[in-house]
Structure 1
Amino acid sequence: MIELINVSKSYGGLVKAVDNLNLTVSPGEIIGFLGPNGAGKTTTLKMVTGILKPDQGVIRINDIDIQKDPLKAKMQFGFVPDSPDMFLRLKGLEYLNFMADIYQVSQEDRKERIGSLTERFELKHVLLDQLQSYSHGMRQKIILMGALLHNPSVWILDEPLTGLDPRSSFILKEMMKEHAQRGNTVFFSTHVLEVAEKLCDRVAVINKGKLVFHGTLEEMRAHFSAHESLEHMFLEMTEHE
Structure 2
Amino acid sequence: MICLEQVSKTYGKSGKKAVDSMTWNVEDGKITGFIGPNGAGKTTTLKMITGIIRPDEGRITVNGHDIQKEGLEAKRQIGFVSDSPDSFLRLKGIEYLNFMADMYDVPTQGRQERINEYARKFEMEDALGSRIQSYSHGMRQKIMVMGALMHQPPVWILDEPLTGLDPKSAFALKEMMKEHAAQGKSVLFSTHVLEVAEKLCDYVAIVQRGRIVFLGTLEELRAKFPGEESLENMFLELTKDE
- TM-score scaled to structure 1, two decimals? 0.98
For 1:118-158, what per-residue CA distance to the aligned partner results, in whole angstroms no more than 9, with x for missing partners?
Answer: 01111010111000000000000000000001000000000
CA distance in 1, matches of 2:171, 2:54: 34
CA distance in 2, matches of 1:237, 1:109: 47
CA distance in 2, matches of 1:227, 1:152: 38
For residues 99-118 of structure 1, the aligned pairs below 5 Å read 99-118=100-119
Matched position secondary structure for 1:125: coil
Q: Percent identity?
A: 65
Matched position secondary structure for 2:204: strand
Partner of 2:11: 11
Code of the residue aligned with 1:45 in structure 2: it is L
The size of the alignment, in residue pairs, is: 241
State the 1:107 CA deviation: 0.6
Partner of 2:181: 180
CA distance in 2, matches of 1:178, 1:56: 34
For residues 202-221 of structure 1, the aligned pairs below 5 Å read 202-221=203-222
State the 1:116 CA deviation: 0.5
Code of the residue aligned with 1:135 in structure 2: it is S
State the 1:188 CA deviation: 0.4
For residues 139-154 of structure 1, the aligned pairs below 5 Å read 139-154=140-155
State the 1:226 CA deviation: 2.3
1:90 aligns to 2:72 (yes or no): no
1:30 aligns to 2:31 (yes or no): yes
State the 1:108 CA deviation: 1.3
State the 1:78 CA deviation: 0.2
CA distance in 2, matches of 1:80, 1:122: 19
State the 1:23 CA deviation: 1.1
State the 1:232 CA deviation: 1.0
- TM-score scaled to structure 2, two decimals? 0.98
CA distance in 2, matches of 1:51, 1:175: 25
Matched position secondary structure for 1:145: helix
Of 194-203 and 225-234, deviating more is 225-234
CA distance in 2, matches of 1:66, 1:230: 34
5+ residue gaps, structure 2, are none
